[in-house]
Structure 1
């Protein structure tokens, strides 16, 4: 039996009826199947070996350029989302390889400085290029795998990457819907952990009712949310939360926006980030000759500037900004 036959037999025996099957592989460009890996495993490996994936280790999750060793980055967030998503997929008898590939690829298009960098890029595009649809990290993630790195991923992985954000319609697959929900479960809880570590929050500041419903620690809350997700999804035949856990998680998210993401200390840093991204955007829009070659013959200046800045890590972005704005004799 080759790997394809073994995998088909395994999936027929152990996966639920709603699970996406690994074969046949649906790609934009047909390829021969690997003799030792399923199509979704190949997608996973292509993502992990991509340059965009490696850059995630130096991209902000919430705290910009944290000095401590234990704060999350976009890479550690990605790994946490993937690990929890695989747990849910296994419990629901869905395709773990598909979930893993989507989880690892979902944030490849995130620009430096997290959602503040995303908002700054979006605003710059709309203001400088009227009629431009703007910048969204989930669309850029798909562009990374389709164009910038040309990974030729399977259609279910591409769909899950593009539609992992709540700003899009839900993914077509149950596996993609797992990643979409677990993304939120992960970032709410690890951002609370990082905010407490940074002294922005104290444990006693957390809202009482959601904590009573989900648990006093990040690990307990994630465990409660995962068990709730598995239990209610199994009953519903879809990826859903229960009537207690879902609202409790939403309340924690609202609290984090009020007390951390949009709080005065964060807004002070947001102004600085917006200045950096905005000045870089306008500089390169005015000097397109300084940009790397276009990834596609159809790319205009707006697209090229967007690709260049969104691909930067936080520290590289700051270095480019410093080179452009600080006289070399005075740079330290």
Structure 2
């Protein structure tokens, strides 16, 4: 037996009956020879970790645009925190940790520069619409590897595409429990680390946090994350979910963050400018697709200018978007010798 086959045999014996086994995967769009060392899900995790889109997350906004300070979250640090929380849930529930990690690491690959401000801007101007979850799937299927994609398994792509459903209807939820664990891990991570960043930025104080949240979930980030994970572990089986009281406190936490941080004019004061940068870039490249880099020129030829411009801009880091905007729209002084 190969190392991979031994690993798969161990997983079949030790994981929950609700876990997704890689030997039962629905497979890839293009069949590949099995790796002798890694399971298909471990292989997907590695492909995501080594792709260009993953590295660009380092310079993409989480909530605060270009914050001054080394300790604020970026889209990359958010992704790593989601991965850690999701893996904790998966291990406790005896789900497939490799599948969980692959989904978590890939869930935000298609996120725009400037966080949700960039996402809103592209959704408004692109005729195809825009969703960062679906764009993340597009990245791994159609954009990475010069258009060849990463050729990931169906379960990983499904989990990535369903990680941010707002209406938890059956058709909108991940088909695997590992994907549903990532859905909760994403929310647990961003609510808690965005609150910590808001406190550091003095957008909020500890006194602003409703006492009901402190009472139900805890006063510190660690206490809240532990309470939420514990509820998931103790109340999941055929599905992943929390007890009613914790779920209500979690929903209240989410509402509080939207009102106090995500819609706060102090925290979001620069978003109007960010949206205009994204819209201006989109209009320019949609009207001048011949200026797109070669890999996006290929998308233009296969599909259309709107899709190519949207793919290019959504892949930009914050600073690259600003630099491109300045190059295109900000006059440069004459050089007189």
Does the Cα contact within 8 Å between 1:188 and 1:253 map onto a contact in 2? yes
Matched, 1:225 2:249: no
Matched, 1:148 2:143: yes
Deviates more, 1:212-221 or 1:282-291: 282-291
Deviates more, 1:204-213 or 1:280-289: 280-289
CA deviations on 1:40-70 (whole Å, 9 max, x unpaired) are: 1110110010000000000000011111101
**Number of the residue aligned with 1:288:** 289
Does the Cα contact within 8 Å between 1:147 and 1:295 map onto a contact in 2? no
**Number of the residue aligned with 2:42:** 41
Matched, 1:157 2:160: no
SS in 1 for 2:65: coil
- Closer, same or farther: CA 212–295 of 1 in aligned 2, 3 Å: farther
Unaligned 5+ segments in structure 2 are: none
Q: 1:319 Cα deviation (Å)?
A: 0.6
- Closer, same or farther: CA 100–330 of 1 in aligned 2, 3 Å: farther
Does the Cα contact within 8 Å between 2:203 and 2:267 map onto a contact in 1? no
1:138 aligned to 133, 138, 142, which one? 133
2:196 aligned to 170, 177, 193, which one? 193
Does the Cα contact within 8 Å between 1:148 and 1:295 map onto a contact in 2? no
Q: 1:24 Cα deviation (Å)?
A: 4.7
**Number of the residue aligned with 2:10:** 10
Q: Distance in 2 between matches of 1:81 and 1:303?
A: 29
**Number of the residue aligned with 2:121:** 120
**Number of the residue aligned with 1:250:** 251
**Number of the residue aligned with 1:299:** 303
- Closer, same or farther: CA 295–206 of 1 in aligned 2, 3 Å: farther
Matches within 5 A, 1:316-327: 316-327=320-331
Q: 1:72 Cα deviation (Å)?
A: 0.5
**Number of the residue aligned with 1:77:** 78
Q: 1:330 Cα deviation (Å)?
A: 8.3
Matches within 5 A, 1:263-282: 263-282=264-283
Q: 1:120 Cα deviation (Å)?
A: 0.5
TM-score, normalised with respect to structure 2:
0.93
SS in 1 for 2:118: helix
**Number of the residue aligned with 2:211:** 208
CA deviations on 1:203-238 (whole Å, 9 max, x unpaired) are: 11111101110000111100110001100114xx21
Q: Cα RMSD (Å) of the superposition?
A: 1.5
**Number of the residue aligned with 2:21:** 21
CA deviations on 1:262-302 (whole Å, 9 max, x unpaired) are: 11223421211111111111111221111123344422000
Q: Distance in 2 between matches of 1:117 and 1:138?
A: 14
Q: Distance in 1 between matches of 2:66 and 2:153?
A: 34
TM-score, normalised with respect to structure 1:
0.94
Q: 1:19 Cα deviation (Å)?
A: 0.6
Q: 1:312 Cα deviation (Å)?
A: 0.3
SS in 2 for 1:47: helix
Q: Distance in 1 between matches of 2:73 and 2:91?
A: 25
Matched, 1:181 2:184: yes
Q: 1:259 Cα deviation (Å)?
A: 1.1
Segments of 4+ in structure 1 off by > 6 A?
A: none
- Closer, same or farther: CA 258–330 of 1 in aligned 2, 3 Å: farther
- Closer, same or farther: CA 105–295 of 1 in aligned 2, 3 Å: farther
